[in-house]
Structure 1
Amino acid sequence: MKTPFLFLSAIIFSVLLCEASKSPDPVLDINGKILRTNTKYYIVPLHDLVGGGLDLALSRPRGDTCPQSVVQDKVNKSGLAVQFYPVNSKKGVIRESTDLNIAFPDAHAKCLKSNIWTIEGDVSWYDDTQYITAGGQIGNPGEQTLVNWFKIVKTPNAYKLRFCPDVCSSCDFVCQDVSVEDLQGKKLLVLSNPPLEIAFREA
């Protein structure tokens, strides 16, 4: 009499296990194609009126020349191409809400230590301004690389970038969206609200 019950329980357990192990949805570009690790993309704003694509700028709030800030270009609609390096690169698919590194593979500057995005500022406080700059590193997930990890998160209309890493469960940080701050004539990428809604176009 117990056999049917055990059989049904096994089926339910298998279904639940399958749902739990289901991968997040892939990120899609403006043509509906899946984003992949070996491809370059332009990150463009959802609305043309808010500016162009993303680039690097030497202008810093304190007058420094390095590291370079990630900025939204006011004129160039495409900006610099980026490439994504997910924490788990299995099958080379970029998936929503998954930790990844972002690079400007074609960026060249004499002071540029690396073209990997990172965060400058204390990520454990809301009231500290956290700027997104170049100078990070790829991989090695953990406490030492915490500020190098971002996520692509689905919004009702498109996508946004978010800092909320899963690579270090014991680390102290505040989850925040990537936004834009106007400062000294530059539109600097920072951790703040409202998020900059974006789309992706293959380079």
Structure 2
Amino acid sequence: MSSLLYIFLLFAAFISHSGAAVEPVKDIYGKPLLAGISYFVLPVVRGGGGLTVIETVNTTCPRTVVQDQSEASQGIPVEFSPSVKSRTIPVSTDLNFQFSAFTIWKLDNFDTDQYFVSTCGVGGNPGRQTVSNWFKIDKFEGNYKIRFCPTVCNFCKVMCRDIGVFVKDGKRRLALSDVPLKVKFKKA
């Protein structure tokens, strides 16, 4: 009889855990981020502005995602699309990031030592072919950070790292980093 009680309690715990509400990412006004709505991705710490793109030469992708050098710039608005159907954007879920005027963000290897974020990704279709197109928004020190750690492919080996700023030749490129860029979101 005790094993039957144990199984019942285990089942009840599983059901209550699986029904737990997923915490949404919130904008600077405390409202949940919504899929398909444009937001500015802004730095929490001074030293640069919002996110934008620059033209890149001698690469397969013509545009790289950067942090604007001007603190006054809000950058280009970004839309988020979750890998699973959801109106709100949950914390720590796979997302496509898309500038309103460009294609989907993608992790690209432009340099032998560094991976940068470009705009040559493909939206949707979670799986092996699109694994480099999925990012997450995670809570970080009371704010948020962007992380590359896709879970859209069960058998793919991926490196999980934060997205930070890599400064070279005066450009503040978004790249894999040990120091994450702390961000907040403002509806465009």
Specify if TM > 0.5: yes
CA, structure 1 residues 12+161, in 2 after alignment: closer, same or farther (shift >3 Å)?
same
CA, structure 1 residues 12+74, in 2 after alignment: closer, same or farther (shift >3 Å)?
same
After TM superposition, give the deviation of residue 13 of structure 1 in Å: 2.6
SS state at 2:114 partner = coil
TM-score normalised by the chain length of structure 2: 0.89
1:67 aligns with 2:52: no
After TM superposition, give the deviation of residue 66 of structure 1 in Å: 4.1
The answer to whether the Cα contact below 8 Å between 2:61 and 2:118 also exists between their aligned partners in 1 is: no
The answer to whether the Cα contact below 8 Å between 2:53 and 2:66 also exists between their aligned partners in 1 is: yes
Structure 1 unaligned segments of length 5 or more: list them: 108-114
The residue that corresponds to 2:33 in the other structure is: 35
1:18 aligns with 2:16: yes
Match of 2:88 among 86, 93, 104: 93
SS state at 1:168 partner = coil
Partner amino acid, structure 2, of 1:81? P
Match of 2:148 among 154, 159, 163: 163
1:51 aligns with 2:76: no
SS state at 2:106 partner = strand
SS state at 1:121 partner = strand
Task: Give the stretch that moved more between structures: 92-101 or 64-73.
Answer: 64-73
The answer to whether the Cα contact below 8 Å between 2:51 and 2:75 also exists between their aligned partners in 1 is: yes
After TM superposition, give the deviation of residue 74 of structure 1 in Å: 0.9
CA, structure 1 residues 21+165, in 2 after alignment: closer, same or farther (shift >3 Å)?
farther
Deviation track 1:129-168 (CA, whole Å, cap 9, x = no partner) reads 1010011011111111010000000012200000101111
Larger radius of gyration between Structure 1 and Structure 2 = 1
After TM superposition, give the deviation of residue 121 of structure 1 in Å: 1.5
The answer to whether the Cα contact below 8 Å between 2:56 and 2:62 also exists between their aligned partners in 1 is: no
Distance of 2:28 and 2:41 partners within structure 1: 10
TM-score normalised by the chain length of structure 1: 0.83
More strand by share: 2
Count of residue pairs the alignment pairs up:
186
CA, structure 1 residues 65+98, in 2 after alignment: closer, same or farther (shift >3 Å)?
closer
SS state at 1:50 partner = coil
The residue that corresponds to 1:120 in the other structure is: 108
Match of 2:75 among 57, 74, 79: 79
Aligned-pair identity (%): 38
Deviation track 1:29-66 (CA, whole Å, cap 9, x = no partner) reads 0100000013110000012x221000010145xx5594
The residue that corresponds to 2:121 in the other structure is: 136
SS state at 1:71 partner = strand
Match of 2:135 among 150, 164, 167: 150
CA, structure 1 residues 67+19, in 2 after alignment: closer, same or farther (shift >3 Å)?
same
Match of 2:172 among 187, 190, 195: 187
CA RMSD of aligned residues (A): 2.3
The residue that corresponds to 2:181 in the other structure is: 196
After TM superposition, give the deviation of residue 172 of structure 1 in Å: 2.0
